[in-house]
């Protein structure tokens, strides 16, 4: 379930509003989008995956609030982490046809 939009990192591009399949967000002029219908979130991670600023956090549990703060997410590296798991990290180019799943599988062996 969508938990946080970082007001410090968000540039108000509203990509999350566009990609959300269930219309969870409302555009707020000159500010980050508002999580207006949190209960409608289907935990699809589209908003977090497409956020170019890594300003969002979707908790993997679709039921109930995650009870985390933005500071905790920053300290643990979880804010916007879904993009990196997918291999969409702009600082680390991904080879064509190869996503981050190989990395996850390799690290599970250890």
Cβ 65 vs Cβ 1: under 8 Å: yes
Helices (H) and strands (E) in the chain, counts: 5, 4
3-state secondary structure of 47: helix
pTM to 2 decimals?
0.73
Q: Which residues contact 62 (CB under 8 A, 6 or more apart)?
A: 1, 41, 42, 43
CATH code of the domain occupying 2-108 = 3.30.70.20
Cβ 100 vs Cβ 86: under 8 Å: yes
For the chain, domain boundaries = 2-108
pLDDT digits (tens, 9 = 90+) for 16-69: 999 999 999 999 999 999 999 999 999 999 999 999 899 999 988 767 666 788
Cβ 3 vs Cβ 65: under 8 Å: yes
Q: Report residue 88's pLDDT band, with 50, 70 and 90 as the boundaries.
A: confident
Q: Positive or negative CA dihedral for 78, 105, 89, 58?
A: negative
């Amino acid at each position: 379930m969508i938990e946080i939009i970082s007001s410090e990192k968000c540039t108000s591009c509203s990509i999350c509003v566009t990609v959300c399949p269930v219309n969870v967000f409302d555009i707020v002029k000159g500010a980050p989008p508002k999580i207006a219908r949190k209960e409608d979130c289907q935990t699809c991670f589209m908003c977090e995956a497409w956020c170019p600023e890594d300003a969002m956090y979707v908790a993997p549990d679709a039921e109930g609030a995650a009870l985390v703060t933005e500071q905790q997410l920053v300290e643990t590296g979880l804010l916007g982490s879904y993009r990196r798991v997918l291999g969409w990290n702009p600082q680390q180019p991904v080879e064509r046809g190869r996503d981050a799943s190989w990395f996850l599988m390799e690290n599970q062996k250890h």
